């Protein structure tokens, strides 16, 4: 158990490991990761050196959007286990000193949620319909959508129901948006927060936290034709959909629920808002913490990361909270691939490399050696920063994106929607089941990504409870996964896994007890990110420096003990390109 985990403020400097449950570990052989699978890997997680796990949705779902379409908020998908399995998992996690965070999805339910079925059955003007956003259509007979808003997954954001009304769905049509002007919706979610808190959950990750308070009267509906988070629309809290001032009332209400518990439950918001607004969500009377996604969208330029760090620290300061750092999650291509692709000029333009978005395999000019080297440097740059570090499952293995999953094996809705139909492969490439065991490798001669091979790199057991061969992993794993299997990396001192373990244990030992949320920048030139932090009092050092060189020219390192380096240094005093070090100063 880390020191951090023993106090109520554990989340302020935590290392949180994101689990995408259906792809983490399959215990029963149905090809789908499950809750007992997570329990079985708790020791691995403890040895990795994390403070908490965050579970993406594991609730009953038709998987129209990877589980973010929830049929029942207070239950476990029977394919993933049951409530007893959940309780056992929490208890095992707590025994290992690991906190548990679950995902709350308040913007929309699934279309098979009891409320939505009731809304369909109850008809126009009913109380059941008022829990969602139903409108009459436009055109002489209401045959056109109420307006031309587009779903974030492509295609119209409105779906017509049998009696002619239309409902809003900002995401897939299987995800009808809830009406947060309805008091019943408020009560329902407070009940859900209490339910999971009563089951020992330590905190919540709040999905689409900036989207709940909508203004959908006649005037606002005409104001906009399309929207994106980074559009030129108002950022003053008056936008009809995003980041509205009223959304904060909801989180102030939730804070009261979090504070009913001892220690108070923790929350982190997923709010894709301008950096200047992040702090509002993170304030102590609201969620307490918010994701800063600047790292996740940064290209491999020192300027991008410098801005990300400055913005993140500033937001944390304004809210009286701590910052968050994230490079990968279940929505973005894995960062070793991103860093190994041709880089767009700068994130400042919000331009992502074309290949970054396309993910169709064909134009994938990935340089893996370079991508890995940079990813190694990146974790040392990130993990010395004050605040919480969010790690996405498989990141510790240095997994790359799987860009070439056959079209007919994809699960993510985005490839099949109107926007760029069949040109974007969507998000499955970072959701491929994890490789645990290289001995369970398919025979390369008969391997075909379309069909199973009986092997799953240890993701599933060889047989299910009835002795039948386990089902194939729900997304196909590529052959190269073998080299990234946990057992291979555990044996290799130079692997990404060994680097992550070393980095997280040194972080816990040297840095985390400090509650500070600022860094002292060192001026090493434009191509370098270099900062120092006060070292923990119990350590042998006064300060720890983290230095990353992005530039082609090696830089001279300051005096001190070399604690970690992302690559072997030929000359102790020189830091070459795409390399990071931690130096302890006495």
Residue 445 Cβ, how far from ligand NOJ at the closest point, in Å? 37
Residue 152 Cβ, how far from ligand NOJ at the closest point, in Å? 8
Q: Which of 9, 260, 276, 571 is catalytic?
A: 260
3-class DSSP assignment, residue 580 = strand
- The residue (of 155 and 263) whose beta carbon lies closer to ligand NOJ is 155
Residue ranges binding ligand NOJ (CB under 6 A): 65-66, 68, 105, 171, 207-208, 270, 330-331
> DSSP class of residue 477?
P
CA dist 41 and 99 (Å) reads: 14
- The residue (of 291 and 459) whose beta carbon lies closer to ligand NOJ is 291
3-class DSSP assignment, residue 52 = strand
- The residue (of 51 and 65) whose beta carbon lies closer to ligand NOJ is 65
Query: Helix, strand, coil % (nearest 5) of the chain?
Result: 30, 15, 55
For tokens 């840095």, the residue is 511
Q: What six digits make up the tokens of 224? A: 């906009």
CB 384, CB 544: distance < 8 Å = yes
- Give residues with Cβ within 8 angstroms of 177, minimum separation 6: 107, 108, 132, 133, 167, 168, 169, 170, 214
Q: How many CB atoms lie within 10 A of CB 361?
A: 15
CA dist 392 and 64 (Å) reads: 22
Q: What six digits make up the tokens of 271? A: 């709010």
Residue 176 Cβ, how far from ligand NOJ at the closest point, in Å? 12
- The residue (of 158 and 531) whose beta carbon lies closer to ligand NOJ is 158
Q: How many CB atoms lie within 10 A of CB 397?
A: 22
CA dist 535 and 24 (Å) reads: 35
CA dist 175 and 183 (Å) reads: 20
Q: Which of 26, 85, 111, 207 is catalytic?
A: 207
- The residue (of 14 and 206) whose beta carbon lies closer to ligand NOJ is 206
- The residue (of 107 and 579) whose beta carbon lies closer to ligand NOJ is 107
**355 is known as an active-site residue:** no
- The residue (of 70 and 504) whose beta carbon lies closer to ligand NOJ is 70
Half-sphere exposure of 167 (CA within 13 A, CB side): 30
For tokens 């999953």, the residue is 405
CB 165, CB 136: distance < 8 Å = yes
What single string gives the DSSP state of each residue in 402-440? Answer: -TT--GGG---SGGGSSTTTTT--TTGGG-SPPP--GGG
CA dist 15 and 401 (Å) reads: 22
Residue 38 Cβ, how far from ligand NOJ at the closest point, in Å? 19
CA dist 178 and 181 (Å) reads: 9
285, 291, 294, 296 alpha-carbon torsion, rounded to 10°: 180
Q: Which of 385, 373, 378, 270 is nearest to 331 (CA)?
A: 270
3-class DSSP assignment, residue 291 = coil
- The residue (of 426 and 473) whose beta carbon lies closer to ligand NOJ is 426
Residue 562 Cβ, how far from ligand NOJ at the closest point, in Å? 38
Bridge partner residues of 52 (DSSP): 16, 99
**365 is known as an active-site residue:** no
Residue 295 Cβ, how far from ligand NOJ at the closest point, in Å? 16
Residue 354 Cβ, how far from ligand NOJ at the closest point, in Å? 22
Q: Which of 37, 40, 175, 53 is nearest to 102 (CA)?
A: 53
- The residue (of 171 and 457) whose beta carbon lies closer to ligand NOJ is 171
CB 424, CB 414: distance < 8 Å = yes
- The residue (of 149 and 531) whose beta carbon lies closer to ligand NOJ is 149
CA dist 204 and 218 (Å) reads: 34
Q: What six digits make up the tokens of 499? A: 């680097």
Bridge partner residues of 205 (DSSP): 103, 268
- The residue whose Cβ lies closest to ligand NOJ is 68
> DSSP class of residue 265?
P
Residues designated catalytic: 207, 260
């Amino acid at each position: 158990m880390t020191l951090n985990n023993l106090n109520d403020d554990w989340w302020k400097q935590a290392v949180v490991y994101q689990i995408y449950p259906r792809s983490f570990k399959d215990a029963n052989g149905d090809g789908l990761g499950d809750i007992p699978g997570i329990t079985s890997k708790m020791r691995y997680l403890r040895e990795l050196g994390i403070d908490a796990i965050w579970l993406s949705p594991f609730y009953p779902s038709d998987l129209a959007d990877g589980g973010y379409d929830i049929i029942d908020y207070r239950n476990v998908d029977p394919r993933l286990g049951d409530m007893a399995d959940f309780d056992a998992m929490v208890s095992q996690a707590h025994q290992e000193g690991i906190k548990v965070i679950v995902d709350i999805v308040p913007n929309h339910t699934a279309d098979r949620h009891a409320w939505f079925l009731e809304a369909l059955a109850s008809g126009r003007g009913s109380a059941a319909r008022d829990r969602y956003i139903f409108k009459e259509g436009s055109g002489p007979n209401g045959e056109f959508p109420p307006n031309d808003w587009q779903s974030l997954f492509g295609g119209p954001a409105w779906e017509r129901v049998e009696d002619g009304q239309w409902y809003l769905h900002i995401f897939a049509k299987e995800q009808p948006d809830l009406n947060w002007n309805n008091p019943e919706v408020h009560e329902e979610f407070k009940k859900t927060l209490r339910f999971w808190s009563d089951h020992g959950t330590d905190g919540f990750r709040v999905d689409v936290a900036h989207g709940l308070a909508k203004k959908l009267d006649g005037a606002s509906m005409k104001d906009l034709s399309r929207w994106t988070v980074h559009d030129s629309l108002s950022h003053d809290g008056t936008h009809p959909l995003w980041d509205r001032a009223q959304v904060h009332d909801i989180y102030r209400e939730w804070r009261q629920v979090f504070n009913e518990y001892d220690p108070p439950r923790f929350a982190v918001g997923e709010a894709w808002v301008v950096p200047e607004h992040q702090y509002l969500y993170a304030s102590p009377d609201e969620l307490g913490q918010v994701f800063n996604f600047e790292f996740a969208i940064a290209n491999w330029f020192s300027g991008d990361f410098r801005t990300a760090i400055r913005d993140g620290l500033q937001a944390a300061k304004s809210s009286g909270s701590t910052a968050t750092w994230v490079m990968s999650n279940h929505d973005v291509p894995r960062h070793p691939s991103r860093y190994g692709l041709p880089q767009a000029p700068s994130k400042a333009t919000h331009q992502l490399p074309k290949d970054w978005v396309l993910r169709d395999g064909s134009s994938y000019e990935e340089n893996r050696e370079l991508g890995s080297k940079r990813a190694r440097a990146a974790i040392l740059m990130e993990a010395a920063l004050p605040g919480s570090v969010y790690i996405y499952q498989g990141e510790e293995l240095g997994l790359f994106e799987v860009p070439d999953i056959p079209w007919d094996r994809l699960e993510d809705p985005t490839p099949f929607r109107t926007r760029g139909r069949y040109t974007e492969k969507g998000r499955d490439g970072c959701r491929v089941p994890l490789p645990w065991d290289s001995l369970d490798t398919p025979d390369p001669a008969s391997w075909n990504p379309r069909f199973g091979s009986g092997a799953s790199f240890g993701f599933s057991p060889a047989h299910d409870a009835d002795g039948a061969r386990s089902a194939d992993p729900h997304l196909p794993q590529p052959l190269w996964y073998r080299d990234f299997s946990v057992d291979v990396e555990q044996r290799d001192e130079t692997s990404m896994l060994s680097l992550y373990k070393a980095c997280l244990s040194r972080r816990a030992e040297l840095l985390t007890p400090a509650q500070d949320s600022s860094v002292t920048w060192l001026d090493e030139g434009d191509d370098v990110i270099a900062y120092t932090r006060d070292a923990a009092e119990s350590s042998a050092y006064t300060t720890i420096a983290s230095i990353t060189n992005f530039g082609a020219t090696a830089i001279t390192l300051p005096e001190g003990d070399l604690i970690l380096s992302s690559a072997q240094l030929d000359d102790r005093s020189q830091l070459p390109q795409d390399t990071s070090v931690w130096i302890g100063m006495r």
